[in-house]
Amino acid sequence: MIESINHFHLFCGSGSGAAGFNDARPEIPGLQGRMVCLGGMDVDPVGAEDFKMLAGVPCTVRDLFSRQQYVSWNGHEPPAGWVEAGPDDIRAAAQHQHPDIVFLSAPCKGFSGLLPAAHAKTRRYQALNELTLRGVWLMLEAWADDPVPVILFENVPRIATRGRHLLDQITSMMRHYGYVVRETTHDCGELGGLAQSRKRFLLIARHAEKVPAFIYEPPKRPLRGVGEVLGRMHLPGDPAAGPMHRIPSLSWKTWVRLAFVEAGSDWRSLNKLAVEDGNLRDYLIVPEYRADYLGVREWDRHTGAITSRGGPSNGAFSIADPRFDPSAAWKDGQAYGVRRWEDTSGAISGVKSPGQGTFSVADQRHQGPAKHSNEYRIVAWDQAARAVTSAHGSGQCVADPRRTGPTFGKYAVTDWQAPAGTVISGSTTGQGAFAVADPRPGMRRTQGDNYLTGGHYGVVAFDQPSGAVSASACHDNGRWSVADPRPMPAPDDRLVCRITSLDGTWHRPFTTLELAALQSIYDPDDYAEQPFMMHGTSDQVHREHIGNAVPRRTAQAIGEEIGRAILLARTGETFQLSSTPIWVRPVAEAIAVQGGIEA
């Protein structure tokens, strides 16, 4: 037999929690529950569109502020025609039906540890915090004649301290309406089996007469590594995954900082770097294979010529930047946090950038084959050589332990006072000691010297034409360099980079789609044909909605336990066995413990 269990969501956001409740399948012997969403209410119209997409029912867009709260938050009077929401509006948002469960996830900015305490105490944020109390009161009044069996109130853990006075009032109101209340905290990652640890506060209230049965906590599951989720997705930037999977454009200095953060750590890794006079003492930040090899320019000098292969390890394309001071203000302990592939993510919050949390990963997936798999490979004397290929320049070399005796090897330079080596038929500079260190002065090239007019190492002005390009064109045998006045990226220039970190992986921020996957809003297996896309075009808005969401799988686990208690109440059962802790005890035990107040 199947019984419908109705649920309604106040401050519903994008609907991830409602979708999770829809996924729940509570059951007891002989009876199965079917979760039915009656709707939601929120002030955000973009979030309301996402709610309809995820939960399958409309969301009512309505401001729940009182007039005084509206003025305190917005700094001005509401527009003409604005009226305060009342209990009738709550019932209308629920399609004038009676819910069995009401889930509230009120705005948490004023309680969050990301907001400085001084700002949290301002009248503006106090008005936002008081919205929690007003929302609970409107909900209780909406069904005062027939109380909702179970109420869940979710928020950040810091509400237990910053919002203590509001929680006390909420608890008093609920008891007045006949509820037994308990405050608890949980890890959403453990309840939903997620790849992130996300601590949250949960106030759970059951109506003592309607739900006499125990309500147990959902079973805890082990946390997963971020690679278990991300490994099922397309590589970042793949058009097949849609615009939510693009790599965020970050400032150049942020990319460099991410590269130096140790996998599994955060911004505090940067404090391990030795900095002298504004420069990294032990490292140079260089691209690869460029002229003026590994050249680092001083802050007050011009850069070298920018060429088509302009990378740090083959040109003067690096700079000793003195503008670096790891700030002690990064005290959230998570800034620039880079997660190992097999580790769990930190909590996905409403903030969006890698500088504000553990929103980067050391991605170990290979982006394609190397140019030559044995390039510059040195084979040990007692090991087999690699396969001999037609690409003879790819580096077949051996570490030969045999000593060769006197210096008659390649590229040997003879002292001016010493005899030359034996002249042989293969006498070239690469086949014997046929070079000399000539101390005689006067080696400056003069007019008529063929080498003088060859344009060797010639640098062409940016507004001048190049010389004729020959088949043997190289930077040291003609005018094949240019004085390029265009600057390198400034520290705050925003761009997409791929920098290989010290551990050999790409330390990069999570994409918006990956954040949705970590919150279990998005499942890669469910969107194989068509990319997942939330409403709107702003990544910032998407990330805020994702960070504020209740993880879908966590909501599913909670919904199944609450639904099971409701099914027991409908069948007249007042007891069940479970190996998990009790969330809300039966009223008889509660009276015996603390005079009717839940512990």
- Each residue of 328-349: pLDDT tens digit? 444 445 577 888 888 888 777 7
Tell me if 140 is assigned to some domain.
yes
Tell me how far apart the alpha carbons of residues 103 and 38 are, in angstroms, rounded to a whole number: 12
pLDDT in tens, 355-365: 777 788 888 77
Tell me if 420 is assigned to some domain.
no
Contact 40, 8 (CB under 8 A): yes
Residue 3: exposed, middle, or buried by beta-carbon count in 10 A (0-12, 13-18, 19+)?
middle
Tell me how far apart the alpha carbons of residues 431 and 409 are, in angstroms, rounded to a whole number: 7
Residue 244 has a pLDDT of 92
Q: Name the DSSP letter for residue 378.
A: E
Tell me if 572 is assigned to some domain.
yes
Torsion angle of the four alpha carbons 318, 395, 498, 278, in this order, in degrees rounded to the nearest 10:
-30
Distance from chain centroid for Cα 66 = 36
DSSP H or E run through 32: strand 31-42
| 430 backbone dihedrals φ, ψ, rounded to 5° | -100, 10
Tell me if 41 is assigned to some domain.
yes
Tell me if 397 is assigned to some domain.
no
Tell me if 43 is assigned to some domain.
yes
Phi-psi region of 212 (alpha: psi -120 to 50; beta: other; left: phi over 0): alpha
Contact 40, 22 (CB under 8 A): no
Contact 108, 140 (CB under 8 A): no
Residue 582 has a pLDDT of 57
Task: Write the CB contacts of 113 (distance below 8 Å, at least 6 apart in sequence).
Answer: 156, 158, 332
Residue 440 has a pLDDT of 67
Query: Which structural domain, as residue segments, surrounds residue 138?
Result: 2-226+536-594
Which among 171, 59, 223, 219 is positioned nearest to 558, based on CA atoms? 219
Tell me how far apart the alpha carbons of residues 557 and 25 are, in angstroms, rounded to a whole number: 9
Tell me if 200 is assigned to some domain.
yes
Helix (H, G, I), strand (E, B) or coil at 51: helix
Residue 482 has a pLDDT of 84
Residue 166: exposed, middle, or buried by beta-carbon count in 10 A (0-12, 13-18, 19+)?
buried
Which among 517, 551, 527, 557 is positioned nearest to 227, based on CA atoms? 517
The residue to which tokens 């609920």 are assigned: 174
- Written as six digits, the tokens of 262 are 């140790």
Helix (H, G, I), strand (E, B) or coil at 5: strand
Sheet with strand 506-509: strands edge to edge: 338-339, 360-363, 506-509
| β-bridge mates for residue 362, sequence order | 507
Tally the domains of the chain. Answer: 1
Residue 337 has a pLDDT of 81
- Given a cut of 50, the residues of the chain with pLDDT beneath it are 289-291, 328-332, 392, 404, 407, 584-599
R_g of the chain, CA atoms, integer Å: 34
Residue 487 has a pLDDT of 73
Tell me if 294 is assigned to some domain.
no
Tell me how far apart the alpha carbons of residues 596 and 146 are, in angstroms, rounded to a whole number: 21
Contact 506, 498 (CB under 8 A): yes
Which among 228, 249, 254, 485 is positioned nearest to 355, based on CA atoms? 254
The residue to which tokens 């509820």 are assigned: 179
Q: Name the DSSP letter for residue 470.
A: P
Q: How far, CA to CA in Å, does 419 sit from each of 198, 409, 412, 430? A: 77, 15, 12, 18
CB atoms within 10 A of CB 588: 11
Q: Name the DSSP letter for residue 136.
A: H
Q: Work out the angle between the directed axes of helices 164-176 and 123-142 (0-180°, nearest 10).
A: 10
Residue 368: exposed, middle, or buried by beta-carbon count in 10 A (0-12, 13-18, 19+)?
exposed
Residue 51 has a pLDDT of 96
Residue 585 has a pLDDT of 41
Whole-structure pTM value: 0.67
DSSP of 562-579: HHHHHHHHHTT------S
DSSP H or E run through 102: strand 101-104
Q: What's 129's domain CATH number?
A: 3.40.50.150
Task: Write the CB contacts of 428 (distance below 8 Å, at least 6 apart in sequence).
Answer: 434
